[in-house]
Amino acid sequence: MGAASCIFHVVSFLQVAVAVAIAVVTAVKLVDVNVEGIDFSYTCLLGQSYGSSSLCTYTFVVCGVSVGVSALVSITKCCTCNLCGLGRVLDILLAAFGAAWWGVASGIIGSNANKGLPASAPSDGGISAARDAVPIMAYTEVGLFCLMLLTALLSCLPPVPHIVGTMADLFALIRLALKDLGRGTVPPSEILKPLISKGLGYGILAGSTLVKVPQVANVVRAKSAAGLAPLSAELETVGLLIAVTYGFVMGLPFSAFGETVALLLQNNLLLVLIYYYQRRSLARAATVGLLLAGAGAVALSGGLTKSHVTALYDCQNLILVASRLPQIWSNFVSKATGQLSIITYALNAAGAAARIFTSIQEQAGAAMLRGAMISTLLNAILALQIVWYGRGGKKQKKGGSKRSSKSKAA
C-alpha cells in the first residue's frame, strides 16, 4: 500500500469520527428534551430552524448520511475484493461526494447556528462552546474530504520521484547557503536562484491552501453568492484541472505547480456554494460534474504526452481569460463587486506574479510562463475593481447623506 493510500484510509477514519462527534455533541449538549407523561418535545439549542425541520434534525441527517455512505463503500469494497480492482474509483467518488455534501451542509449549519434561539434557551459555557464547535467540525469535514479526494487521485498516478525529491533539494540548498553564510561569504547565484525559486514555490503552495477561504467565508456569512459568475468559476475549475495535469505529465517539481492542486479543491467547494445559493438547476450541476469527472479520468489515464499537455495549457490560458472576463465585465456593468473578496484576488495576483520567476527558473515551459503573466494581469484587474467600486460606493453613500441633510435643513 502506497503512502497516498495509507493517508486516505487514516483520513477516512477521521472523517467518520468527526461526523460521529458532531452528532454526539448535538444530541448531548444541544437538544433540550421536555417530557410530560407519555408526551415529549425537544428544543434545538444549536440555532434557528432550516426549512421545515430544526437545525439539530438537519445536522443528524447530514451526519447519518455521511457515515452511512462511508460504511456502504467500505462494505462494498470488502465484499467485492476491492470492487475487482476498481476500488480507487469508489474512493474518488466517495471523497467527491463527501466534499460536496459537507460543503453545502457546513454553509447551512454555519449560517444558521447561534441564531433564532428562544429567549428561554440555556446559555451556559458548555452549550455556547458546543454551538461554536459544531460549525467548526462541519468545516473540518470539508477539509478532510478534500484531502481524501487529493490522496485518492494521487494514488491513481504512477510513482513520481521528482515530487519527493524536490523537498530534499530545497533542504540541500538551504544547507549549502547556510554553510556559505557561516564562512562569511554570500552564496553564489547557482545556489541563490534555485533556493529563492523553490522557496517561493512552497510559499505559494502554502498560501494557496487558504486563498479561496475568504471568498467562501464571504458567501457563507452573507448566505448569498451575489456578484459571483458561475461561468467564471466553472471555466476556472477546468483551467486548474489542465494546470494540474500539465505539472504531472511534464515532470515538474511539485513546488512549481502544487498550488493548482489546492486551488482546484477549493474552487470546487466554491462552485458548490454558488450553485446552492444562486439556486442553479441540478441538471447544470450534474453536467458540469460529469464533464469534470471525465476530464479527470482522461488526465489520469496516462495517455497524454508532453506535446498534448502543452497544447492543452495554451488552451487553459484562453480558458483563464474566458473565466475572468465575464466577472470583470459584470463588475464593470453593475459598478459593484457583490461578495467578491479583495484578499482572494490580491493573493491570486501576488502568487501569479511570483510564479513568473519560478516558471523561468524551473524551466516550466513557455505555456506556463504565459499563463502566469496572464493570471497576474487579470487577477490584478479584479482586485483593483473591488477596491475602486468599493470606494466609489462609499463616496456615493456619503454624498447621498450630505444631500439628505441639506434637504432636511432646507
When pLDDT is averaged across residues 162-189 and rounded to a whole number, the result is 71
Q: For 99-127, what is each residue's pLDDT tens digit?
A: 888 888 887 887 787 776 666 555 666 77
* Residue 407 located in a structural domain: no
Same domain membership, residue 174 and residue 147: no
Which pLDDT score, from 0 to 100, does residue 126 have?
74
Which pLDDT score, from 0 to 100, does residue 367 have?
80
**Cell 446552492 belongs to which residue?**
276
CA separation for the pair 289, 116 (Å, rounded): 35
Residue ending a domain, among 155, 184, 213, is 155
Give, in degrees to the nearest 5, the angle at Cα 126 between 123 and 128.
50
Upper half-sphere CA count for residue 56 (Cβ side, 13 Å): 18
Same domain membership, residue 216 and residue 135: no
Across all residues in the chain, what is the average pLDDT?
77
- pLDDT for 37 beyond 70: no
Q: By three-state DSSP, how is residue 78 classified?
A: helix
CA separation for the pair 2, 283 (Å, rounded): 37
**Cell 484531502 belongs to which residue?**
147
Which pLDDT score, from 0 to 100, does residue 216 have?
81
* Residue 348 located in a structural domain: yes
Cβ proximity of 318 and 267 under 8 Å: no
Same domain membership, residue 350 and residue 261: yes
Q: What is the DSSP letter of 183?
A: T
Cβ proximity of 386 and 342 under 8 Å: yes
**How many domains is the chain built from?**
2
Give, in degrees to the nearest 5, the angle at Cα 21 between 17 and 23.
120
Same domain membership, residue 197 and residue 236: yes
Same domain membership, residue 186 and residue 77: no
Cβ proximity of 22 and 32 under 8 Å: no
Residue ending a domain, among 155, 176, 198, is 155
**Residues in the chain, total:** 410
Which pLDDT score, from 0 to 100, does residue 62 have?
93
Same domain membership, residue 185 and residue 75: no
* Residue 43 located in a structural domain: yes
200 falls in which pLDDT band (50, 70, 90)? Answer: confident
Same domain membership, residue 107 and residue 203: no
Q: What is the DSSP letter of 254?
A: G
* Residue 331 located in a structural domain: yes
φ, ψ for residue 49, nearest 5 deg = -65, 150
CA separation for the pair 6, 242 (Å, rounded): 27
Same domain membership, residue 197 and residue 137: no
Same domain membership, residue 182 and residue 107: no
Helices (H), 278-365: 282-300, 306-334, 342-361
Residue ending a domain, among 155, 181, 196, is 155
Q: For 72-103, what is each residue's pLDDT tens digit?
A: 988 888 887 776 666 777 888 888 888 888 88
Same domain membership, residue 134 and residue 197: no
* Residue 410 located in a structural domain: no
What is the domain extent for residue 281? 161-396
Same domain membership, residue 92 and residue 48: yes
* Residue 402 located in a structural domain: no
Which pLDDT score, from 0 to 100, does residue 115 have?
74
Same domain membership, residue 219 and residue 139: no
Q: By three-state DSSP, how is residue 303 classified?
A: coil
Cβ proximity of 255 and 198 under 8 Å: yes
Interacting residues of 191 by C-beta distance below 8 A, sequence separation 6+: 173, 176, 177, 180
* Residue 329 located in a structural domain: yes
Burial tier of 302 (Cβ tally within 10 Å: 0-12, 13-18, 19+): exposed
Q: For 288-340, what is each residue's pLDDT tens digit?
A: 877 777 777 676 666 778 888 888 888 878 877 887 888 888 888 888 877 77
Sign for the pseudo-dihedral over CA of 392, 397, 398, 400? positive
Which pLDDT score, from 0 to 100, does residue 154 have?
67
Q: For 210-269, what is each residue's pLDDT tens digit?
A: 777 778 877 877 778 887 878 888 888 888 888 888 887 887 777 777 778 888 888 888
N-terminal to C-terminal alpha carbon distance within the chain: 81
Q: For 22-35, what is each residue's pLDDT tens digit?
A: 999 988 888 877 66
Report the C-alpha dihedral over residues 378, 296, 218, 12, rounded to 10 degrees.
Answer: -150
410 falls in which pLDDT band (50, 70, 90)? Answer: very low
196: how many CB neighbours lie within 10 A of its CB?
17
Cβ proximity of 386 and 214 under 8 Å: no
Percent of the chain surpassing pLDDT 90:
7
* Residue 257 located in a structural domain: yes
